[in-house]
Amino acid sequence: CHKAVEYLSHKAVPFVEKNVGRDPEARKELASLGVTSLPVLLIGNRKLSGFNPAQIDAALSTLTG
């Protein structure tokens, strides 16, 4: 999801982007997570599915205290 990439970039949050459309290993990893909606964000011990800025901010806040 381009929105998630833009959002994290704007907030200067380092991330690793994996394209499941082009990368078979990323597709396997996504399947192993048991999610069906994109984007999937793994932040700390939280797995977020879909683009929700409030959830992203809440998960990021647990990393920074």
Tens of pLDDT, residue by residue over 12-48, are 999 999 999 999 999 999 999 888 788 999 999 999 9
Of 18, 12, 54, 51, residue with least CA distance to 33: 18
Strand partners, 48: 41
pLDDT at 65: 61
How many Å apart are CA 65 and CA 49, to the nearest integer? 22
Q: Summarize the confidence of residues 3-8 as an average pLDDT.
A: 95
Question: How does residue 1 score in pLDDT terms, banded at 50, 70 and 90?
Answer: confident
How many Å apart are CA 5 and CA 13, to the nearest integer? 10
How many Å apart are CA 40 and CA 50, to the nearest integer? 6
Contact call for residues 20 and 36 (beta carbons, < 8 A): no
